[in-house]
Amino acid sequence: MTKLALPFLATLLAILLLAGSPATVESAEKPGSTVRNAFGPEVGHLTNQCRGACGAGCPDSCDKSVSYECIDGARLLLRVVSYECGTHEGCRTHDNCLDVCLKGGAGSGDCQSQCDADAIQDFGAEKTFSWLGGGGPYDGKTIFEYTRDASYELEPAYHCPQGSSRQCGTNTGCKTATGKWVEPVFDTYPQAASSAMRISDFRAGPACADKVCTQTADIEITGNDSCDDGPCTRFGMEFDYKNANPAAPLECSTSTSGGDSDFIGGLIKQGSDAMATRRVEPEEDDGLGQLLSMFETVVSSADSPEDVQIKITPFDEDGNPIESQSVGNDLPGRSRPIPSRVDVPATSGHLFVPMYELTSAAKPGQIKERRIRCTHQGTPVLETVVRLRHNATTAQGISGTQDGSSSLTSGSSSGNAVQAECSCECSMKGLVDELCAFFCEEEFAACGSL
């Protein structure tokens, strides 16, 4: 039984996950090319990016970096997210197979099943399963650049914060008079209708009561604040606004990268997204089917496992919910770390949106990047990125600094990452991040085992 189950599970996962959603053009990008805003159609809850890359969408194996370009006569900045991804003939053939199949009128589920099976037959199960997770072998790399997350979305623009100026000869954003690189700040959606809700004087950073203390994208998680579930650090965003409808709230969503990689959670998340592309509504009397359908909807509604909000409530013998026995992370009276709905009190005014991060949400030394997007009556209003640095050394007064492209990078990307001072004292052994541990290798070795 076991010998049969493992190959079956691997094949099922390949059918569910390989290369994500289909694309709209007939050929995936060749190795060595650079493309911008190349999207496939939405299928289920997925928008296909990084076509021809090995893995679903833009997998974690891609090197990610962020840069900025001057627009509107250098008044504003355009944020460009780049992914340098491994590609292979097998991955490109798989995406091209989807294109041809879809243009022939077949359903997305039938196309993906056919193309997944073809990849296994033509290139072998071992390679196919490796490509499934974004692994090799590769025959080259392709760079995918995005200034928005979907073809139909508005393109956000940014500006340099007060006291800094644009550096249009480079791709690194803003620089102060003292030479310090700082993060550009969200400005507006230039293409939004004039009647849509608009914001100005946007700021994000650590919270001081009901306002932002200092504008910064880098938040040190010290645990000096107290939240419902334990020590935390509070931060938030604030802005002036106009053209709002007080009857409609801001609807905010988040996506998370960095921190601990949740392989099982990620696998469930990707599988749920893939199932959405093949979804068939269950019969009314199919209780299990209805339950699985609801589970798929909840999981695929978030951008990462951490962002999934779940509440489970038991019922008594009469079918009434027992709210006092509810469990989960979406319970009444308990605030979310980043709220999904924010009331707008008037047509215009000033708004502060409080947020927090628990110290238990990641290990010391880890950095999580959370991207926040908010809409009002279906129209985008703002988007911003915060980087949450979990580092025990922050309690001793170490503060983060920013240089280069002001980005959180992954893999071997040449983009500049968030940096901080490093202490090689024995008391810090095992608490600092990997870069600091590298520089303090000899000092920590002399400390012995702590």
Cis geometry, peptide bond prior to residue 190 (ω within 30 degrees of 0): no
Which residues, listed in sequence order, are joined to residue 235 by a DSSP beta bridge? 206, 355
Put residue 121 in one of left, alpha, beta given phi > 0 → left and psi -120 to 50 → alpha: alpha
**How far is it, in rounded angstroms, from Cα 293 to Cα 291?**
5
CA–CA distance, 306 with 371 (Å, rounded to integer): 13
CB 233 within 8 A of CB 221: yes
pLDDT of residue 255: 81
Domains of the chain (ranges, CATH numbers): 2-69+78-146 (no CATH), 190-255+334-422 (2.60.40), 264-328 (no CATH), 423-450 (no CATH)
Among residues 64, 81, 57, the alpha carbon closest in space to that of 134 is found at 57
Q: What SS3 class is residue 413?
A: coil
Quote the pLDDT of residue 203: 95
The span from the CA of 11 to the CA of 184, in Å, is 45
Q: Enumerate residues 6+ apart whose C-beta is below 8 A from 78.
A: 68, 69, 70, 71, 147, 155, 157, 158
How many Å apart are CA 38 and CA 50, to the nearest integer?
7
Residue 407, CA distances (Å) to 65, 82, 173, 196 in order: 6, 11, 11, 30
pLDDT of residue 236: 96
Query: Please, what are the averages of pLDDT over each run of 10 residues along the chain (450 residues)?
Result: 39 41 49 88 62 86 91 85 95 83 69 86 91 91 92 91 82 82 91 94 94 92 89 95 96 78 48 46 56 54 54 78 68 74 96 93 86 94 93 43 34 34 68 62 65
Q: Which of 327, 411, 330 lies closest to 82 in space, CA to CA?
A: 411
- Please tell me the predicted confidence (pLDDT) of residue 283: 57
What pTM does this model have?
0.68
Under DSSP, the state recorded for 262 is -
SS3 (DSSP) at 203: strand
pLDDT at 275 (0 to 100):
47
pLDDT score, position 375? 95
- Pick from 82, 104, 101: nearest CA to 21: 101
Q: What residues pair up with 353 in beta bridges, in sequence order?
A: 237
Q: Are 385 and 369 in contact (CB under 8 A)?
A: yes
Give the torsion through C-alpha atoms of 64, 190, 353, 387, to 10 deg.
Answer: 10
